[in-house]
Amino acid sequence: MESSDAAIAFGALSQETRLDLLRLLLAEGAKGLPAGDLGARIGVPPSTLSFHLAALERAGLTQSTRQGRHIVHAVRIAGLRGLLGFLTETCCGGQPELCGDLARLLPPFPDEDTKMTPAFNVLFLCTHNSARSILAEAIMNKIGDGRFHAYSAGSDPAAAPNPEVIAKLHAFGHETGGLQSKSWDEFTGSSAPRMDFVITLCDMLEEGACPDFGTVPVTAAWPLPDPAKFTGSAVERSALLNELYASLNRRIGIFANLPFASVDRLAIKTRLDEIGGTNPVPARAR
């Protein structure tokens, strides 16, 4: 550890609430605690808690990850080891064992991922939540592989997903048991999962503008044709559905591999808008 890094760490710890937070997180170990639980135990309001947690994370002493609806904070044992090692590495003329080698007093700990690897919540919207958004939900949950939790909803939901869409997803090896058409109202209450991204998949949603999902989600529009309007024989409709699936699969694959840890919110928004303009389904399908 460099002296500058050690100074930042000691500066972060030079406050009573932060010391209490670090001790509490140490007691919880690798599983950590959601921010809400931390605030309740320490007895500080959310804005104050966020300020102190941010200082500890910038100092490399804690790390945060998104798990479903919650931001979970955990201690970074590697950061503490580095700080203790910095204190003892010059002890007694280069013989830190004479000081008790304090850094070794910490128990063995598994290797950690020093980068934040959040599980983002993504909501796909279309009018009836029976085809495009259902496809997107299934594709994202498969491609995301735990790094993304996908949901879908509509302004005027159908009674059930489009049977041709479900059959197509089965053919491509997707799990479809939990897919259902539902209203976007399910994602607006205080008990609803907090969304990180909201992506609309049709030119214009019926029943007016989207509801208020708050200021947190990054939004984008990826207009795609409605499979309910595909015409022709069963073979022709299947071919058009294949093209729609391929377009969504391509876009979501690009989305899932964006460098979230190294770019800011505005850059992510720009990239999502760019993705929405790529690889459209041919006009005959519209």
Q: What is the band of 113 on the pLDDT scale with cuts at 50, 70, 90? A: very low
pLDDT at 253: 94
pLDDT at 176: 87
| Nearest Cα residue to 197 out of 145, 154, 255 | 255
Q: Is the pLDDT of residue 284 over 90?
A: no
Residue 253 token pair: 């694959």
Per-residue pLDDT of 217-276, as tens digits, reads 888 889 888 888 888 888 998 999 999 999 999 999 999 998 887 777 788 888 998 998
Rounded to 5 degrees, φ, ψ at 95 are -120, 70
Please give the model's pTM, rounded to 2 decimal places. 0.58
Which of 72, 105, 138 is the last residue in one of the domains?
105
Q: At what angle are helices 132-144 and 163-171 packed, to 10 degrees?
A: 20
Do both 199 and 144 map to the same domain? yes
**If you average pLDDT over every residue of the chain, what do you get?**
79
Which CATH number covers residue 208? 3.40.50.2300
Do both 173 and 200 map to the same domain? yes
Do both 153 and 262 map to the same domain? yes
Do both 140 and 81 map to the same domain? no
Do both 151 and 23 map to the same domain? no
Per-residue pLDDT of 203-220, as tens digits, reads 655 444 556 565 568 888
Distance of CA 143 to the CA centre of its chain: 13
Do both 55 and 152 map to the same domain? no
Do both 84 and 133 map to the same domain? no
Do both 72 and 130 map to the same domain? no
Do both 59 and 130 map to the same domain? no
Dihedral sign of CA atoms 189, 122, 214, 185 in order = negative
Classify residue 88: in a domain, yes or no: yes
Do both 12 and 87 map to the same domain? yes
Q: Is the pLDDT of residue 117 over 50?
A: no
Per-residue pLDDT of 170-192, as tens digits, reads 999 998 888 999 998 888 876 67
Give the CB-side neighbour count of residue 93, counting CA atoms within 13 A: 0
Q: Is the pLDDT of residue 133 over 90?
A: yes
**Domain encompassing residue 278:** 121-285
Beta bridge partners of 220: 199
Do both 93 and 160 map to the same domain? no
Classify residue 194: in a domain, yes or no: yes
205-212 long-range contacts, CB within 8 A, separation 24+: 205/125, 205/126, 205/127, 205/154, 205/155, 206/127, 206/155, 206/156, 207/127, 207/155, 207/156, 208/155, 210/125, 210/155, 210/184, 211/184, 211/185, 211/187, 212/188
Distance of CA 34 to the CA centre of its chain: 15
| Nearest Cα residue to 228 out of 199, 201, 255, 200 | 201
β pairing state of 62-67 and 70-75: antiparallel
Residue 6 token pair: 């050690």
How far is 246 from 258, CA to CA, in rounded Å? 19
Most confident of 76-85, 193-202, 203-212: 193-202
How far is 112 from 102, CA to CA, in rounded Å? 21
Q: How many domains does the chain have?
A: 2
Do both 220 and 191 map to the same domain? yes
Mean pLDDT, rounded, for 101-129: 63
Which CATH number covers residue 70? 1.10.10.10
Q: Is the pLDDT of residue 52 over 70?
A: yes
Q: What is the DSSP string of 178-237?
A: T----BGGGGTSTTSPPPSEEEE-SSS-SSSSPP---SSSEEEE-----GGG--S-HHHH
Residue 183 token pair: 């209203």
Which of 43, 74, 105 is the last residue in one of the domains?
105
Classify residue 112: in a domain, yes or no: no
